[in-house]
Amino acid sequence: MCGIVGYLGNKEAYPILIKGLKRLEYRGYDSAGIALLNKNGELNVYKKKGKVSELEAFAKGKDITGTMGIGHTRWATHGEPNDVNSHPHYSQSKNLVMIHNGIIENYASLKEGLTKRGHTFMSQTDTEVLIHLIEDIRQHENMKLGHAVMVALNQVIGAYAIVIMDKNDPDTLFAAKKGSPMVIGIGKDEYFIASDASPIVEYTKNVVYLEDEQIAIVRRGEELKIRTIKDKEITPYIHELEMELEAIEKGGYDHFMLKEIYEQPRSVFDSMRGRLNSETGHLKMGGIEEYETKFSNARRILIVACGTSWHAGLVAEYLFEEYARIPVEVEYASEFRYRNPVIYPEDIVIAISQSGETADTLAAIELAKSKGATIFGVCNVVGSSIARATHAGSYTHAGPEIGVASTKAFTAQVTVLTLMALHVAKVKGTIAESRYRQLLYEIEAIPQKIEEVLKQNELIKKIASTYQHASNALYLGRGYSFPVALEGALKLKEISYIHAEGYPAAEMKHGPIALIDEEMPVFVIATKGANYEKVVSNIQEVKARKGKIIAVVTAGDHDVKGMSDHVIEIPETDETLVPLVSVIPWQLLSYHIAVMRGCNVDQPRNLAKSVTVE
Ligand code: F6R
């Protein structure tokens, strides 16, 4: 949460920073701000509540020159979203400015000490406290800025990715991180700093991922220097970025979310590419091979995740239990980390995260690690904190997901988890060879089946227009479709602000049925499979109470059509793979409803893509 950018080089910083902030806006969009040092040594700071475009309008006509600058887009934690609480924040003398992503947990005690020493604060933020502390140490200990940053960071409890600029040093930026991500791009005579690589990719492919408790000293005309906060010198390891610019642009779509929904035939294919060969029956899961025996002997698997990734974890629970006969528990990472869970050293923990930065998931991993469990990551963002904190893992390879509502990450996660479960089942011998082979063929056909569903976009849009004014919605599914019901409800509520709930279809009669009347749309997955007849009975129960039924059915099913208000047909597939196809209509439906209601689809209110606070 919060996006940070910095630039130091020979170009004008402002356009680079603004473009970078727009790319990072998915991380928070409560306010935006910028600081630039012009050639006369004047420090200009502009900040504004709202989006980056509002900052741009505000800065129009003002002095926006300078070849060094920093910028920030905020997801508010301490202090309401307003101009004053926006970053960058000044030190007491106003000689230093800082941007920050993260939370300084002990800011209150630090602030108290500084106030006693005569500091006054303009904002309610924890960030302002930290930059005051750095200046205070620098003045009282008569230290260079780099050392003062080091001393201050040793006093801080919490998470930070910070960039600091000194009015009296036009050639240096200091950047440091702990818990929040930071990437440094190395160009020709120029440096870029950002929360992720998206603001950097069009200028250079050479990047350094800063590690926790490291400080980067970015100096004009000099090589990048890195030291730890314990003052140990580190040799920067330069990675080559694999990301392409097109992957982070809308490519002709109105919204990133729609682009990402349409990318799914490709992203699901990419998540199995090089891993699956249905001809030979070969399944190669790089990350898992080393831990094959551990997986096979695992007493159980614990899955930790949040939000949509947690829903993917629920699908994985069904898959691992069915294919590999290993008991699975799926935990909200935020609950798991605070409830003294029983964790055995023989446990395998699978942490699922698109961003790889979710604070609760990271904390759950650390807890499980401390108890000796083996941690396996399923992440989308390469080099992310979770990917680095786990013992091994498999990337989902969905490509950058920028729309705040997760779509292609979910299907990629489920694909990877399906391959993992099958691989373990094969190693354990819990699946018949013929079934294993049949499933490999079925999985390979999924991208084509998703393509078929996408062709029904116009029908889904029409259904969306019928229900765009609904105040409530119920999503039902059983078995493998239950997690998809939860995911459908989450998609609708987060981008259209319609209250929606997902339920296992049979649970409806234990409470939610009381909500059903002629105003209530009920979205049901009623595909052919073990629970089909039972779901049909649940549909009848809804109809008997005049609820509206919108059903996702297997192509050619006329029975459910006869009792539904609308049906969306999806191609037949193995029951265990249905979530990969049946989630698509719910994604499109939420998208269209949100657009029709005039909501900001890619940046829904109060949300951020990467939840780096607990
Ligand atoms: C919903 C959504 C969130 C995330 C959750 C976990 O559309 O995007 O619920 O799934 O915040 O994020 P990651 O997967 O990055 O750990």
Q: Is the pLDDT of residue 612 over 80?
A: no
Kindly give the distance from the C-alpha atom of residue 405 to the centroid of ligand 1, in angstroms, as a whole number: 8
CB atoms within 10 A of CB 56: 18
Q: How far is CA 206 from CA 16, 201, 211, 241, in A?
A: 17, 9, 16, 6
Tokens of 300: 């159980």
What are the DSSP calls for 540-589, one per residue? Answer: HHHHHTT-EEEEEEETT--HHHHH-SEEEEE----GGGHHHHHHHHHHHH
Interatomic CA distance for residues 276 and 226, integer angstroms: 41
| Average pLDDT for 339-344 | 92
Kindly give the distance from the C-alpha atom of residue 221 to the centroid of ligand 1, in angstroms, as a whole number: 40
Q: Decide: 353 in ligand 1 pocket, CB within 6 A.
A: yes
Which residue minimizes the CA distance to atom 16 of ligand 1? 353
Q: For the chain, what percent of residues have pLDDT higher than 90?
A: 86
More confident residue, 614 or 144: 144
Confidence of residue 425 (pLDDT cuts 50, 70, 90): very high
| Average pLDDT for 207-232 | 97
Q: Is the pLDDT of residue 203 over 90?
A: yes
Q: Please report where in the chains the tokens 């040093």 appear, as a residue.
A: 169
Question: What local confidence, expressed as pLDDT, does residue 613 receive?
Answer: 72
CB atoms within 10 A of CB 572: 17
Among candidate residues 65, 20, 22, the one with its CA nearest the CA of residue 46 = 65
| Average pLDDT for 480-498 | 97
Kindly give the distance from the C-alpha atom of residue 308 to the centroid of ligand 1, in angstroms, as a whole number: 5
What are the DSSP calls for 501-552, one per residue? Answer: EEEEGGGGGGTGGGG-STT-EEEEEE-SSTTHHHHHHHHHHHHHTT-EEEEE
The residues annotated with a catalytic role in the active site are 2, 609
The arrangement of strands across the sheet holding 89-90 comes to 89-90, 96-104, 158-166, 172-178, 214-219, 225-228, 233-234
Q: Is the pLDDT of residue 1 over 90?
A: no
Confidence of residue 75 (pLDDT cuts 50, 70, 90): confident
Interatomic CA distance for residues 357 and 362, integer angstroms: 7
Tell me, yes or no, if the two domains 250-444 and 451-601 fold the same way: yes
Contact assessment for residue 190 and residue 6, using Cβ atoms and an 8 Å cutoff: no
**In the chain, what is the greatest distance between 2 CA atoms, to the nearest angstrom?**
81
Question: What local confidence, expressed as pLDDT, does residue 218 receive?
Answer: 98
DSSP state at residue 40: T
Q: Is the backbone peptide bond immediately before 88 cis, with ω within 30 degrees of 0?
A: yes
**pLDDT tens-digit profile of 376-389?**
999 999 888 899 89
**pLDDT tens-digit profile of 121-156?**
999 999 999 999 999 999 999 999 999 999 999 999
Average pLDDT score over the chain: 95
The angle at the Cα of 602, spanning 33 to 359, to the nearest 5 degrees, equals: 70
Which helix (DSSP H) or strand (DSSP E) does residue 313 occupy?
helix 307-319
Confidence of residue 242 (pLDDT cuts 50, 70, 90): confident
**pLDDT tens-digit profile of 364-379?**
999 999 999 999 999 9
250, exposed or middle or buried, with CB in 10 Å at 0-12, 13-18, 19+? middle
Q: Decide: 601 in ligand 1 pocket, CB within 6 A.
A: no
Q: pTM higher than 0.75, yes or no?
A: yes
Kindly give the distance from the C-alpha atom of residue 495 to the centroid of ligand 1, in angstroms, as a whole number: 13
Question: What local confidence, expressed as pLDDT, does residue 262 receive?
Answer: 98
Question: What local confidence, expressed as pLDDT, does residue 395 receive?
Answer: 95
Which of 304, 309, 390, 490 for a ligand 1 pocket mutation test, highest count of atoms within 8 Å of Cβ? Answer: 309
Question: What local confidence, expressed as pLDDT, does residue 299 receive?
Answer: 87
Q: Please report where in the chains the tokens 């800065």 appear, as a residue.
A: 59
Question: What local confidence, expressed as pLDDT, does residue 590 receive?
Answer: 98
Phi, psi for residue 375 in degrees, rounded to 5: -110, 130
Question: Coil, helix or strand for 293?
Answer: helix
Count of positions (residues) in the chain:
614
Confidence of residue 562 (pLDDT cuts 50, 70, 90): very high
Interatomic CA distance for residues 362 and 14, integer angstroms: 34
Question: What local confidence, expressed as pLDDT, does residue 41 receive?
Answer: 96
Q: Is the pLDDT of residue 80 over 90?
A: no
Pick the CATH number of 250-444 from 3.40.50.10490, 3.40.50.150, 3.40.50.12160, 3.90.10.10: 3.40.50.10490
Q: Where are the domains of the chain?
A: 3-245, 250-444, 451-601
Beta-carbon contacts of 60 under 8 Å, excluding residues fewer than 6 positions away, are none
Q: What is the 3-state secondary structure (H, E, C) of 102-143?
A: EEECCHHHHHHHHHHCCCCCCCCCHHHHHHHHHHHHHHHHCC
The third-level CATH classification (topology) of the domain covering 451-601 is Rossmann fold (3.40.50)
Query: E-strand spans in 26-95?
Result: 31-37, 43-49, 68-74, 89-90
Confidence of residue 603 (pLDDT cuts 50, 70, 90): confident
Q: Please report where in the chains the tokens 């005690």 appear, as a residue.
A: 109
Question: What local confidence, expressed as pLDDT, does residue 285 receive?
Answer: 86
Question: What local confidence, expressed as pLDDT, does residue 81 receive?
Answer: 86
CATH class, 3-245 region: alpha beta
Which of 355, 357, 404, 408 for a ligand 1 pocket mutation test, highest count of atoms within 8 Å of Cβ? Answer: 355
